[in-house]
Structure 1
Amino acid sequence: MKRRQLKLLSILSILVLMILAACGSTDEDSSDSDSGKTKEDIKFLSMLTGGTQGTYYPLGGTFADLITTETGVKTTAEVSQASAANMTALQEGEGNIAFVQTDIAYYGTEGIMMFEGKKTDAVSALGALYPETVQLVTLADSGITSFEDLKGKKVSVGAPGSGTYANAEQLLEIHGLSMEDIEAQSLDFGESTDGIQSGQIDAAFITAGYPTGAVEALNATNKVSIISVSDEKADALIEKYPYYAKDTIPAGTYGIKGETPTVSVLAMLAVNKDLSEDLVYKITKAIYGNTDKISHAKGEFIKAETALDGIGIEVHPGAKKYFDEVNK
């Protein structure tokens, strides 16, 4: 009898151990499955833009709506400090999609300029958008008619962490100036135009698609002037920094009679590399497959066939898959 009981206990013990082992295996499998689901079953996406009075924010709102509608993943456009800060945020997992300038994206992935020792190797490209025009804004009666006139003046060179700062520094350099030759102010677009209007600053660098909301608001109360970049200086800039291109602000923009020659870089979208190929494919399709639904003036420049032009960093496989399909 005792022998039988011992045998029964032994069998029960083995069964219990087998059940526990199976449970452990199930938990482990579930953990693996859950870790995979973080990439595939994302319910919310954060799109980093720029200041509310630039071009990134309103355009980002449109993109966020398209992504939400087309993919079912709730996407929100968020105010940010723009290009350089957006690259850092993507690197640190504090955003999923971001507007950046092509030059800043290149600096980040190479770990140079403002990213020295802080390479953004967790970021890849989704696609190019439109030209971002470098606009040196002042008032028509300021007495500033050239870059050389900026010497000793209070000039906004962009918000901390923005690509505008790099553009300002490089354009000053080409004109024989440096940040030490001006009283540099780190302001966003809205603060810049408010400062010009109140007389707190004399001029501001604003890198954004024209017409820029902040400059339009300033022109509503004061006659503005955009300082031109000559062909000679543009050529010198492009020779040293080949990601620039010549650009022209059309006559009538901000009420200015003639055309204003200047330079531009490209705006682009970047994403965190950890997003799955399938999700990025759907995001790319949601934007570039619905350009007819983009009411912003810059919508006319956003095309699948030119989306890889000027991109100097690795393109996410999901975006590449979409562009390969539509451009074959």
Structure 2
Amino acid sequence: MVSGAEGGSYAVAADRYAVALRERGVSADVERTAGSVDNLRRLKSGGADIALVQTGLAGDFGTQGVRSLGAVFLEPLWVFYSGRRTVREFDDLRGLKVAIGPEGSGVRVLSRVLFDDVGLDEEAFEGVPLAGQAAASALMAGDVDAAVVIAAPDAPWIRDLASDPSVRLLSLERAPAYVRRHPYLASVTLFRGVLDLERDVPSKDVVLLSPVAQIVVRENLHPAIQALLIEAAFSAHSSGSMLSEPGFFPTPKLADIPLSQEADRYYRDGPSVLRRIFPFDVANFLERAWVFIIPLATLIFPLVRASPPIYRWRIRRKIYVWYRHLRDLEAAGRSAGTLEEREEVLERLHALQVDASRIQVPLSFTDDLYRLRAHIRFVADLVGRAASRSRSGLTGGPDVQTDQDL
């Protein structure tokens, strides 16, 4: 997982997500980076599986191979400037020495976009590649005239800058116009005193522009891990902040990278039924098992439907197989030319009757068994009558052609 610079809100959030994953048995390492641009590049190149990325970068880098799990918190763009200067708009930074973040940082990309809106190109001011605490320290030390930074309002150095009497914070009166031009931004109000009520910091409401931090993952990241990340985001951000109402984050609404299928399902339906009932490991196993159960069911279902006919056939086969012997004995009785041959056939028929009486079948198939035994008796009677006539000298034997004459 790639976050951002040490001490930033991205790093804090990434650490919380990593702890949540480890608690569920998922190995997670967090790597510090230059910022959102670096994060998205690493994600798309396969150098990371999970990243925190600010909105507004999708247009430049594309979204192929990556998906969003939703927006998780606001991280405003702050423009602090020296009290010796007068700054009412971005254009007033012309000719000043401005900390705008290093290459690879989201603040540098967003700054260029907003500066272009007012015709402030890079040659019009001196850009210094400082961000975060380093930019704040440089401004308070007088090394730069202004600092454009992206950070959460609870960052300690944000409070330090806002409380410093020699530093001013730019309120963007035209923020709604920027939002119309760049829908991935939000206009937020930092209310008077919200940073420090005792010292009344800030001393008036301040309007800020804010990109939104979103969790972005590789498209092939396992859905179970995606669900764990969303759960971790709910745990970390649903209580609200200085800039958002409780329950607003995480949300799919502000993400500018397409949601993953798992995220879309999660926001629509909540945790899966299995995850509500079972621990993560068990639920994950059962969800994976469906991949095998469904194809297996397609094979088993026809077998289940065919099993009753197969069962009946197997039971009846135990009975019907004896008809071959019975047919052979009947033919032998018909062709017998002497009394001895007919008596031999009768003995074999008697043995067949004994064997048939030993056949074990379910009660519902008894009628087939008794039918076999009746047929054996029928053939034995025919051969027996022919043998009786042979004993009495009524027939010569081989001329028998019908059941009555057998």
TM-score band by shorter chain is: 0.7 to 0.9
What is residue 315 of structure 2 aligned with on the other side? Answer: none
Cα offset, 1:170, TM superposition: 2.6
Match of 1:307 among 251, 259, 262: 251
| Contact 2:2/2:39 (<8 A) preserved | yes
Partner Cα separation in structure 2 for residue 261 and residue 54 of structure 1? 22
1:171 partnered with 2:114: yes
What is residue 142 of structure 1 aligned with on the other side? Answer: 84
What is residue 154 of structure 1 aligned with on the other side? Answer: 97
Structure 2 counterpart SS, 1:84? helix
Match of 2:25 among 72, 81, 86: 72
| Contact 2:67/2:219 (<8 A) preserved | yes
Tell me the C-alpha RMSD between the 2 structures.
2.8
What is residue 262 of structure 2 aligned with on the other side? Answer: 318
What is residue 237 of structure 1 aligned with on the other side? Answer: 178
Cα offset, 1:145, TM superposition: 3.0
| Contact 1:130/1:302 (<8 A) preserved | no
Cα offset, 1:220, TM superposition: 6.2
Structure-2 change in CA distance of 1:57 and 1:213 (3 Å): farther
Q: Which runs of 5+ in 1 are unaligned?
A: 1-46
Partner Cα separation in structure 1 for residue 230 and residue 78 of structure 2? 29
| Contact 1:134/1:264 (<8 A) preserved | yes
User: Higher strand fraction: Structure 1 or Structure 2?
Assistant: 1
Structure-2 change in CA distance of 1:327 and 1:260 (3 Å): farther
Q: Which amino acid aligns with 1:266?
A: V
Partner Cα separation in structure 1 for residue 171 and residue 142 of structure 2? 22
Partner Cα separation in structure 2 for residue 85 and residue 202 of structure 1? 27
Structure-2 change in CA distance of 1:303 and 1:226 (3 Å): same
Partner Cα separation in structure 2 for residue 153 and residue 300 of structure 1? 33
1:61 partnered with 2:15: yes
Q: Which amino acid aligns with 1:145?
A: V
Q: Which amino acid aligns with 1:74?
A: S
Partner Cα separation in structure 1 for residue 163 and residue 179 of structure 2? 33
What is residue 18 of structure 1 aligned with on the other side? Answer: none
Partner Cα separation in structure 2 for residue 235 and residue 287 of structure 1? 28
1:126 partnered with 2:58: no
Q: Which amino acid aligns with 1:316?
A: S
| Contact 2:2/2:52 (<8 A) preserved | yes
What is residue 283 of structure 1 aligned with on the other side? Answer: 229
What is residue 247 of structure 1 aligned with on the other side? Answer: 188
Structure-2 change in CA distance of 1:76 and 1:179 (3 Å): same
Please give the residue correspondences for 1:1-328 in structure 2 after superposition, counting only pairs within 5 Å: 47-69=1-23, 71-104=24-57, 106-107=58-59, 112=60, 115=61, 119-139=62-82, 141-147=83-89, 148-219=91-162, 223-230=166-173, 233-252=174-193, 253=195, 255-288=201-234, 290-291=235-236, 297=241, 303=247, 307-326=251-270
Cα offset, 1:173, TM superposition: 2.9
| Contact 2:97/2:145 (<8 A) preserved | yes
Higher relative contact order (CA 8 A, sep 6+): 1
Q: Which amino acid aligns with 2:16?
A: T
Q: Which runs of 5+ in 2 are unaligned?
A: 273-406
Structure 1 counterpart SS, 2:211? strand
Structure-2 change in CA distance of 1:305 and 1:197 (3 Å): closer
Structure 1 counterpart SS, 2:29? strand
Return the TM-score normalized by structure 1.
0.72
Structure-2 change in CA distance of 1:48 and 1:214 (3 Å): farther
Partner Cα separation in structure 1 for residue 202 and residue 84 of structure 2? 15
Structure 2 counterpart SS, 1:74? coil
Partner Cα separation in structure 2 for residue 165 and residue 195 of structure 1? 17
Structure 2 counterpart SS, 1:99? strand
Q: Deviations over 1:249-302 (max 9, x none)?
A: 1212372211111211211110111211222223323332x348x889479667
Q: Deviations over 1:137-166 (max 9, x none)?
A: 123x23233233311101011221122122
Partner Cα separation in structure 1 for residue 248 and residue 49 of structure 2? 21
What is residue 8 of structure 1 aligned with on the other side? Answer: none
Cα offset, 1:120, TM superposition: 4.9
Cα offset, 1:101, TM superposition: 0.8
Partner Cα separation in structure 1 for residue 261 and residue 69 of structure 2? 9
Q: Which amino acid aligns with 2:25?
A: G
Structure-2 change in CA distance of 1:270 and 1:195 (3 Å): same
Cα offset, 1:76, TM superposition: 3.1
Count of equivalent residues: 266
Return the TM-score normalized by structure 2.
0.59
Structure-2 change in CA distance of 1:86 and 1:146 (3 Å): same
